[in-house]
Each structure stands twice: as C-alpha cells, then as structure tokens.
Amino acid sequence: MAKFKVYISDYDYPDLSIEKSVLEPIGAEVIGLQCKSGAGLAEQAADANAILQQYAKIPRSTIEQLTQCKAICRYGIGVDIVDVKAAYEHGMVVTNVPDYCIDEVADHTISMGFMLLRRLPMYAASTKAGGWHWRNGGGPMFRFRTLSWGLIGFGRIAQNITRKLQVFGFNVVAYDPYVSKSLMGSFGVQKMELNELFGLADVVNVMCPYTPETHQIVNAQALAKMKKTAMLVNCARGKCVDNVALYTALVEGQIAAAAMDDSEEEPAKMESWSPANNPLFSLDNCFITPHVAYVSEQSLNECRYIAAENARAVLLGQPPINPVYPRK
C-alpha cells in the first residue's frame, strides 16, 4: 500500500515519468487526472496528500474538502489560480517554480516585439498576396536605437529582457511600485510612473504578476495614452489586458499592433474553447500564441522535476525549495 497519494490535477505532458522518478522512491503513488478547470477536483483527489497543479483552479471551497492534503505544488511561477491564504489556513504549503523559464519568456517576449517592430507578419501576408514593396508593411518602421521599450513590472524576467534589449540600443524604462529607482538604475533603466510610460514607450511590455491590482492594468484609458505607432506585448497573464478595450484600440488605430501569449479568457484553463469566443483572433494586427512563452525542452523538464521535488520535501517533513506565502 502506498505511503502517500500524490495527484496531478491536470497535465499536458506525454507521461508522468519525471514525477514518478522523484516521488515513487519515497513510497508515493502518482495519479494523473485531467481536471483542467478544477471542477470536481476535491472529489477525484479526496485522499490526496499532495497535489501538483497545472491549470486547474483550486479555490477555498476545494481546499476545505482536501482534508489530508499537505501541499499544493504549482507547475510554474504564478499562483493566481490557487487560494494561497485558504491553503495555509488549512495546514497546507503552497509552492511554485519561480526560475525555470526566465530565458524562455524573455526570448519569446523580445521575439514578439521585434516581429511587430519589423512588421514581419504584415510583409509576409503582403508577399503571399503578390505584393512586393517596402510600403506594404502597413506603417512606419524605426531604428531600434531610437525607440523606448516600456516594461510594466521589473522582476527577474523583465531584468533578463532588459539585458538583452540593451545590446540592440533600446532605451528601457519601467514601472514597478515594488522596485526602487536605484535598483532599476543599476540596470540602466529609468523608473517611471505608469501613465508616463504609456505615453512614452514605443513597445509597452506587460511583464507583471497577475494580482487584483494588475487586473486589466492595460485598459481603455491606458491604451488611449499610447502612441498610434506603439505596439503592445503581453507575456504575463491574459487578464492583465482588457481584451475588449484592446480590440477597439486595434480596430480604431489607437495603437499599431499587439502580440500576446494568452488571451483574457485563458483558453488553457477552459474545458472547451473556440477563437470565436474572442474577437481579437479575427484581427490582422493582433498575434496570439497559445501560452507557450515558457516552453523549451529544458524548461519543461526542469519545471516538472522541481514541482515534484517541492512535493517530496513537504511529504517528508522538510522545507520545500520554493514556498509561496499569502499576500499581506
């Protein structure tokens, strides 16, 4: 009989070999579920000693029913889909994997920005339609070293982005109320108020965690402050951007283009989804990837190992590598 029961709430990996290699040696049975929305998780994992969580939402109502659970271990950085406060109130530890994809998300973000600034999709569409002229990009292009790249959030990924952008000569500015002017200055970055950044930046890059205060931090008022030639790039949570307001801004030419790694409805967390759910998918100046900024062969394997190792530590009564605590 297994000493521990570890449930994977949901996963899109080909198998659970990595998780089993970490957890089976301590007597854990690893059980994979496909409870992507989180509905019914408490019933399916009623005897769980630990849960590894990908996309499933784990609210207070679920936590209250997981009476034997000691840990909720996120595959990934953000913990907005788990009620961290409720977990600790019920004697659980919450963990994440904060460092596994810093390069990947930074590189994906920069790739999106460069794609828009050089108008690559617009030119590709034009040539496929028989056009062959530099004017077919749909708008002006500028030297990178004359442009300002504005970061909303200045954590580890934004700092990685900064280091890489500066090689190309961008003026990098940032808004983050939790990071000092002096720390930003040590990266050669000017700290700005949010409204100032929206008005200055040629690329507005959302790179903050999703919290109540960053919900739709890019909204109609923010988009109205941006330059008509500016681009929006969001590789943070989809809900940081008001998609209805963005659709209006793109259709009416308030900004030039946008690229995002997730949409506001977050399709990966839905049981069923269609691009018809969101009109942004119908636009020629909006480009959306399916929440893949974190993906590489190396990052996926690292994430799975660390999530499982966090669970292993808690089950053995040891402090986990990456605990996450309730927001004060």
* Residue 120: count of CB within 10 angstroms of its CB: 14
> What single DSSP character describes residue 279?
G
Catalytic residue of the set 29, 196, 265, 266? 266
Catalytic residue of the set 74, 108, 119, 237? 237
266 classed as catalytic? yes
Catalytic residue of the set 74, 108, 119, 291? 291
Lookup: tokens for 41: 């998780």
89 classed as catalytic? no
Could you tell me which of 179, 287, 182 has the C-alpha nearest to residue 231?
287
Mapping DSSP to helix (H, G, I), strand (E, B) and coil, where does residue 7 land?
strand
Q: Given strand 171-175, what is the order of strands in its sheet?
A: 190-191, 171-175, 148-152, 203-206, 231-234, 257-260, 286-288
Could you tell me which of 47, 91, 89, 51 has the C-alpha nearest to residue 68?
47
H or E element at residue 93: strand 93-95
Q: Are 194 and 220 in contact (CB under 8 A)?
A: no
60 classed as catalytic? no
Residue 7 to residues 22, 72, 121: CA-CA distances in angstroms? Answer: 14, 10, 42
Side-chain-facing half-sphere of 324: CA atoms under 13 Å? 26
Catalytic residues: 237, 266, 291
